[in-house]
Amino acid sequence: MHDIEPFFRWRDHYIAADDPASPFFGKMNSEFEFSDAIYNYVIHPQWDSCGSPTLFLKVLFVDYDRQFALIELLGEWNDTIQNDIMLIKREVINPMIDEGIYKFVFFCDNLLNFHQGDDDYYEEWHEEIIGEGGWIAFLDTFDHVGVEMGDLLAHYIHFGTLFNGIPWREMEPDWIVDVVEKRLESNRFIL
């Protein structure tokens, strides 16, 4: 896992550590010192911690005018034991909502497992953004991760077949949000 780096193509346009409104403002990541691990597997030092021992992330891009954030995940999302949703909500999402971010795209192709707990934080998050035209989308979830998320989280998060296979690494940030919004709109008419 140490050679899985966060996506870096948009660093010319946005770096969370340089953004005064970012929850990671001023954070210095080493290029050479591997200090974090998921279980016994050392991870690349460019990943940021949200407080969970098994889930790391990288805020890849934020657009305050269009009110969206693009976030890449690595590891295991575990609400059952660590209550990762609480950690992410308090440490990352709440500061972003305070800055007017209401649309969240999570890239999940490095999210290996999901262990569901209570849905309280998901419900709270959904209620805070829905009135502002916001939404939460998980792109490229593995099939088993989608099953682990289950029907319960489908009330709050958009994920699954409709949101898999988007070639996001080849796109500009605005295009990704446009594609997600078009798929959200087309999904409204599917019964």
Question: Using one digit for the tens of pLDDT, what is the confidence trace for 113-132?
Answer: 999 888 999 999 999 999 99
pLDDT-derived band at 191 (thresholds 50, 70, 90) equals very low
All structural domains of the chain with their residue ranges: 16-185
> What are the respective helix, strand and coil percentages of the chain, to the nearest 5?
30, 20, 45
**Nearest residue to 163 (alpha-carbon basis) of 139, 134, 130:** 139
Query: How buried is 65 (Cβ within 10 angstroms: 0-12 exposed, 13-18 middle, 19+ buried)?
Result: exposed
pLDDT at res. 1: 63
Run of H or E residues at 74: strand 68-78
Cα distances from 159 to residues 10, 30, 49, in angstroms, run 24, 33, 23
pLDDT one-digit tens code per residue, 41-97: 898 889 999 999 999 999 999 999 999 999 999 999 999 998 999 999 999 999 999
CATH number (3.30.1300.10, 3.30.750.24, 3.40.50.1110, 3.50.50.60) of 16-185 reads 3.30.750.24
3-state secondary structure of 49: strand
Look up residue 9 and give its two tokens.
């193509």
3-state secondary structure of 168: helix
